Structure 1
């Protein structure tokens, strides 16, 4: 099952005759910006140029601002964890372009289902990053109300579970008639993020089956950062992950995930098609996790310095800054962004340290929707246990 793209070409990763498709385990990487910061579209990227040309300078500058703030905040939060102020931090250094471009492609009514690394996506949707730190500090069980934060749903620490959540939600949107109406304020899509490691989970495959079968208004956004903790993507898949789209009956495209422009453009078009009733699609964003999987990980145990240096030369922020400078962006603009990023990081750090510890009652408050005798019994036991320690100390 293949759908024709607007220009009459197919957006699946497969090319040529049926026999050739069976042997074709490659896919082009769609790119607008080269690693050196030149606007040099690959042949597959030409159709996306009008979407970039239509963007005002203010939005092009916002891409850089968001990426710079994300990186500065990432460093500050990693330091907080090392200082014992967070139980865990999940770095996003290196993946800023994939996240910022795709997040700005969504409309206000769209619903976004993250994994647990999409911090800047949440910020773009209006989420206070302190809510994320509260979760990783152990002060809250969920973190935030999606309805009050740009339909940015909760982090999912169980790999790939969010792909099923997103697909179910997309099915509901479709059943409610919020797809293909032609009204840009009504038509709604779902964007779900997951990583290359999550593609090996059964939940991800089940989500793709249901999405394809029901033609859900949905975009699957795979951030292929090359490593599922210590397992390389080459061990997980012999072919590009984008080809899985075609395998499940939906378009799949592989993009340069360190190119914020192509991340925006491809996601924008894919979401538009989903809202228009053309069904789901899959985007594989080739990027790299420059730091550890989490602060509980030591990537030096399984990665080489040469590999890290290779990707450092393809830094998403550096290449985009080079392009903005070639268009006339001033030094004062970049200086202002650095100051803003430092201010945001300092503010988040200060407010995170002031987050109060939750009361003991919070443990039992929402296990059941109604009062439950077992919860009352366990709460009384814990209170007696802690009181016993207090009495012994006296």
Structure 2
């Protein structure tokens, strides 16, 4: 195939395979590209967007201050969880550092009846759904399998298998359709589903299958991809030639890229996508262009595969500092408010640490309780063997 043969395809998708990211560091891979929706620039200045201004203008100052509180508190929680892991109190932790705006903005766009399917990093979305942050630690501490009732919060348990939750979300959305809870015009009934995943997950077959089923069924699901630039140690250019949001075209529904470090833009774009899903307009693929400031998990060392200069660039795009600058310069928040939130964050950190350390260890037999819905002879035999094994230690101590 000649260059002339591939040129039209590249033009359509905005991709130039002749130029690598290393050769052209200022291309869209670095800044998100001109197509990226942004309402606050990195300097904290308001940027107008005709399609999404109205959603932000409808927010009250109290709601906007609430966004800031969410951002600060969830970052403080995340820092405490990381410290707990480093001190041996958690087996593992997946930090959201740098991705707070993507999670808070999208989480606050959800209605109570909507259902969210997370990965293992959506601590900010969990916060927005009312999940006690300490419950997020149970699985990583090894004392439970999740710690909250998914149907109480409409927030599914964390999914460790990469991409599997997109199939769960699509199936749930197809069920919502069949229950008649889409396009009724009742704001308290019409339901949308949102599936969270990272850029690396888009390479998984499960995600493609979910996109197929969502597209052909016109299901009320939003696919929310947090593109944090790194699938563990693999950069974007090792995963895809085209921008991730273009994936939606091949499955027959809209895709959009939003500045994932801009909480206002994320809120507005996600709200529009969820509204479309609830009214029967089908799925949307959102690519939240952000950056993972820390390690993939606490078992990872990012200095092995990325340069510190890249991290420094993204520090200047910090989602919390950007939003704080806009709130304070526009008079929507003052120094007293900022200080009060910081104090609340420290109280949260102290409380999380104390309550984490107070978590009781479950009895060993708990591992047999929820393997099957009903009692199973094999499991009961294994339970009896385990109980006899434990009893042998008690006898030895007598």
With normalisation by structure 2, the TM-score equals 0.91
| Structure 1 equivalent of residue 258 of structure 2 | 255
Deviation at 1:386, TM superposition (A): 3.2
Deviation at 1:147, TM superposition (A): 1.7
| Structure 2 equivalent of residue 158 of structure 1 | 161
| Structure 2 equivalent of residue 234 of structure 1 | 237
Distance 2:199 2:63 in 1: 29
| Structure 2 equivalent of residue 313 of structure 1 | 316
Change (3 A) 1:19 1:114: closer
Distance 1:99 1:330 in 2: 24
Distance 1:324 1:170 in 2: 36
How many pairs are equivalent?
373
Deviation at 1:384, TM superposition (A): 2.9
| Structure 2 equivalent of residue 85 of structure 1 | 89
Equivalence map 1:312-351=2 (5 Å): 312-328=315-331, 329-351=333-355
| Structure 1 equivalent of residue 45 of structure 2 | 38
Question: SS of the residue aligned with 1:157?
Answer: coil
Equivalence map 1:100-115=2 (5 Å): 100-115=104-119
Deviations 1:155-197 (A, max 9, x none): 1000000000000000000111111111111111001110001
2:14 to 17, 20, 24: 24
Deviations 1:60-117 (A, max 9, x none): 1011100000111111111111111111111001000000001011111101111111
Distance 1:66 1:385 in 2: 47
Question: SS of the residue aligned with 2:52?
Answer: helix
Equivalence map 1:1-394=2 (5 Å): 22=12, 24-25=14-15, 28-41=35-48, 45-149=49-153, 151-328=154-331, 329-392=333-396
Distance 2:53 2:329 in 1: 17
Distance 1:246 1:169 in 2: 22
Distance 1:24 1:161 in 2: 29
Deviations 1:206-230 (A, max 9, x none): 0000000000011100000011111
Deviation at 1:350, TM superposition (A): 1.0
Question: SS of the residue aligned with 2:187?
Answer: coil
| Structure 1 equivalent of residue 5 of structure 2 | none
| Structure 2 equivalent of residue 5 of structure 1 | none
Deviation at 1:235, TM superposition (A): 0.6
Deviation at 1:391, TM superposition (A): 4.7
Deviation at 1:344, TM superposition (A): 1.3
Question: SS of the residue aligned with 1:210?
Answer: helix
Give structure 2 stretches of 5+ with no counterpart.
Answer: 1-7, 16-27
Distance 2:173 2:387 in 1: 44
Distance 2:201 2:360 in 1: 33
Deviates more, 1:27-36 or 1:62-71: 27-36
Deviation at 1:143, TM superposition (A): 2.2
Deviations 1:346-377 (A, max 9, x none): 11211111111111220111112222221122
Question: SS of the residue aligned with 2:385?
Answer: helix
Question: SS of the residue aligned with 1:46?
Answer: coil
Distance 1:106 1:224 in 2: 20
Deviations 1:139-163 (A, max 9, x none): 11232111222x0111100000000
Deviations 1:268-323 (A, max 9, x none): 01100110100000000010111111111111111100011011111000111110
Distance 1:204 1:194 in 2: 9
Structure 2 contact 365–386 (Cα < 8 Å) conserved? no
Deviates more, 1:253-262 or 1:115-124: 115-124
Deviates more, 1:286-295 or 1:346-355: 346-355
How large is the RMSD of aligned CA atoms in angstroms?
Answer: 1.5
User: After the TM superposition, which segments of 4 or more aligned residues of structure 1 sit over 6 Å from their partners?
Assistant: none
Distance 1:20 1:343 in 2: 52
Distance 1:370 1:172 in 2: 25
Deviation at 1:19, TM superposition (A): 7.1
Distance 1:372 1:164 in 2: 28
Deviation at 1:24, TM superposition (A): 2.9
Structure 2 contact 257–289 (Cα < 8 Å) conserved? yes
